[in-house]
Amino acid sequence: ILVSLRSELSRTSCYRSQLSHSARLIVGCTTSSASSASLPRHSHSAGAPPAVATAANSSEMSLQPPPPPQQQQRGNATGSLRNKTALRPGHSLMDWVRLCNSGRDMLDGTRPHGVSPEELAKHNKPGDCWMALNGQVYNVSKYADFHPGGPDELMLGAGEDATDLFNSVHRWVNFESMLRRCHVGPLTAPAAAASASSSAVAAKKSESVKFTWRDAGDEFIINFAFPWPCRSFAIVTSGGLYCRAELDSEDGAAVGYYEFRCCQPHAALLLADARCQIDGSTAATLRLGKRSSDQRAPVIGPVDIDQLYGLGSAPPPVRLFPATLSGWSQLTPDTRLFRLSLPAGSAVRTPIGWHVYCETTPVEGEGDGEMAVRRAYTPVAMGNDEAVDGLQEVWQPKATAELALVIKFYEGGAFTDWLRRRLPGDTIQVSLPDGKFSFDSVMHYDCLVLIAAGTGVTPMVNLTLAFLDLDSDKRVLLVYYNRTESDIILRSYWDRLTARYPGRLACRHSLTRVDPTSDWPGLTGRVSGPALANACASWEPLAGLPAERVFTAACGPDGFLASVGDALAAAAAADANCPLSADRLFMFEG
Ligand code: HEM
């Protein structure tokens, strides 16, 4: 079931406008938290839940000065601030799984059949609520009390084609699996285009990605031309070569997504290497290294292009690929660093601050039922050193066939309980990178103050490395919250990094539960204004920097993120020289 990233958007229109902001920057997503053993949250790193993220290749592509930062906005479909409802006892995700597997008729006697828009429109009230998603109609009446966003939000899609609305709020939710037993049938005629597309999108819709390719001996080179500036580009091979590009309209008013397959599905595409590079605003080059130089070209070619998802203002559905679990190392008692290998020849470059989704494959006899569980995790950049974490200490952006994910285990966690039983060689479904963070938007700041809790530190890894790599004046202060000393993830890694970047990187640990017999030298307590102001004031490289040269990013469980917002306001109020401000903040939400 699903994940927990969250979207700050709500209605489609609102979504669109936010996306346009996100093109410049600021939007968040991700992380996880513990609560959900039963539930859906996710993110990048976090244990049970999740979160997200990767970074946009934007760092490689934009030479434009970044636009002024904008304050993050969040909201739900009703336009209020986020609104995850406290579910009544007996209405957790696992309770829903149990109900679905109980053999009860979830359709209340209705026989599965094709549904016309007119019939769909009649089922538009609590207790009799149908909705169409991706061309299929579901009876969601029984799900209403289990919906983490609450029954009222669910009702916003009642009796209609709610695909755009659903995708704008949480397209990562695996509704096909969750509602399998509630499936009424296909929508027999397309509902009136509740198109979220702006006229600009519509105008461009007929235009497709164009590409030329050539066989350059030991590699295939494909040059792409997009109708709009390309923000990110990701590829993976699995029975074909899949590409996904995210495009910005010239005026930033819309975002378009293309997802397409550019070689035949049956083609054996065995690649030694694959690199994608955004060459300019609308051009990208894909270099596919051959395994052997006599590999013939017919596997790739313009005639083979098969556009799976055209330009539209809603993101394409999450597409999953089989990855192999190649191994893991233990980071803390309940956190492991997992390594996953994508299909042979794949190369995925995860934009900074973005995530991938991982999904379970129910295994017969393990009692998982039929429902797949999906979570989001932020990949961290791997290096080659011998340390247990093996993470990069110097930024080397590259497309890779291996993903490294920090995952925290939760007792009763729907995804991690399944993962706990997997062995090296087992398959895990993973998606292409997804996210909204734009590294471009923070590149021009002098200093990043990163505030993380638990697995929320995961997106900070690549962000720190890439930012410090920009030039020798860039500085990063990480304030990292954990419960106990043994919960600190990647502690020795941060020690190594701070030693490598003296005067440019500092890490302040804060614990909420300190062993009284220990001589803990760090900070104590939860995130608060005075503590943040103090952490900034006491780090000399940050002292004296004008506030507008400092950007803040935060990641952690929901409650933590809510406290960060309050703490930033309190920090600024407590110390007039404090450079922190909620106006220059990105939250990777969980
Ligand atoms: C189309 C109408 C729908 C609307 C407007 C809607 C709205 C929402 C909202 C506002 C939230 C809370 C987001 C937040 O935490 O800030 C949410 C969460 C959630 N919804 Fe929906 N929802 C809809 C349909 C559905 C359907 C059909 C399903 C199930 C199959 C579903 C499953 C979920 C799940 C699993 C979450 C938790 C997601 C997470 O934690 O990442 N929703 N929804």
What would the DSSP string read from start to end of 129-165?
EEEEETTEEEE-TTTGGG-TT-HHHHHTTTTSB-HHH
Using pLDDT thresholds of 50, 70 and 90, give the confidence band for residue 367: low
The total number of residues shown for the chain amounts to 590
Closest ligand 1 atom, CA of 153? Answer: 5
Q: Is the CB of 174 under 6 A from ligand 1?
A: no
CA distance 203 to 199: 6
CA angle 120–124–127, rounded 5-degree value: 115
Long-range CB pairs of 499-503, under 8 A, 24+ apart, other chains included: 500/393, 500/394, 501/468, 501/476, 503/475, 503/540, 503/541
Which is higher by pLDDT, 210 or 324? 324
Instruction: State the first-to-last Cα distance of the chain, in angstroms, to the nearest integer.
Output: 15
Q: With a threshold of 0.95, tell me whether the complex ipTM lies above it.
A: yes
Q: Which residue, among 5, 19, 27, has the nearest Cα to 313 in the 3D structure?
A: 19
Q: Which residue has the tokens 């709610």?
A: 162
Cα 259 to averaged position of ligand 1 atoms, centre (Å): 24
Q: Which residue has the tokens 């299909």?
A: 343
**pLDDT tens-digit series, residues 279-295:** 777 777 877 777 667 66
Using pLDDT thresholds of 50, 70 and 90, give the confidence band for residue 51: very low
Tokens of 576: 């007039």
Cα 175 to averaged position of ligand 1 atoms, centre (Å): 10
Which is higher by pLDDT, 130 or 202? 130
CB 441 within 8 A of CB 26: yes
CB 338 within 8 A of CB 458: no
Largest Cα separation within the chain, whole Å, is 70
Q: Is the CB of 77 under 6 A from ligand 1?
A: yes
Sign of CA dihedral 408, 412, 418, 424: positive
Q: Is the CB of 175 under 6 A from ligand 1?
A: yes
Closest ligand 1 atom, CA of 174? Answer: 30
Pick the range with the lowest mean pLDDT from 33-42, 79-88, 285-294.
33-42
- 133 DSSP β-pair partners: 136
Tokens of 499: 């030693």
Phi, psi (deg, nearest 5) at residue 555 = -155, 135
Q: Which residue, among 446, 449, 411, 469, has the nearest Cα to 555 in the 3D structure?
A: 449
CA distance 265 to 351: 26
Closest ligand 1 atom, CA of 93? Answer: 35
CB 351 within 8 A of CB 441: no
Angle at which helices 12-24 and 163-170 cross, to 10°: 40
Compute CA distances 25 → 55, 58, 67, 546, whole Å. Answer: 11, 10, 9, 21
CA distance 10 to 22: 14
Mean pLDDT, residues 326-353 taken together: 84
Nearest Cα residue to atom 28 of ligand 1 = 175
CA distance 482 to 489: 9
The residues, ordered by sequence, that sit 6+ positions from 417 with a Cβ below 8 Å of its Cβ are: none
Looking at residue 336, its amino acid is R
Residue 580 pLDDT > 80: yes
Q: Is the CB of 178 under 6 A from ligand 1?
A: yes
Cα 35 to averaged position of ligand 1 atoms, centre (Å): 17
Pick the range with the lowest mean pLDDT from 11-25, 140-154, 259-273, 488-502.
11-25
CA distance 95 to 277: 46
**pLDDT tens-digit series, residues 466-484:** 999 999 999 999 999 999 9
Which is higher by pLDDT, 6 or 353? 353
What pLDDT does residue 370 have? Answer: 63
Q: Which residue, among 328, 431, 330, has the nearest Cα to 372 in the 3D structure?
A: 431
Q: Is the CB of 147 under 6 A from ligand 1?
A: yes
CB-facing half-sphere around the CA of 49: CA atoms within 13 A: 27
Q: Is the CB of 156 under 6 A from ligand 1?
A: yes
> Among 72, 153, 155, which is best to mutate for testing ligand 1, by the most ligand atoms less than 8 A from CB?
153
Q: Is the CB of 456 under 6 A from ligand 1?
A: no
What pLDDT does residue 183 have? Answer: 92
Mean pLDDT, residues 36-58 taken together: 27
CA distance 223 to 421: 43
Looking at residue 307, its amino acid is Q
Closest ligand 1 atom, CA of 6? Answer: 41
Report how far Cα 460 is from the mean position of its chain's Cα atoms. 14
Nearest Cα residue to atom 30 of ligand 1 = 175
> Among 10, 72, 96, 170, which is best to mutate for testing ligand 1, by the most ligand atoms less than 8 A from CB?
170
Phi, psi (deg, nearest 5) at residue 402 = -120, 135
What pLDDT does residue 469 have? Answer: 94
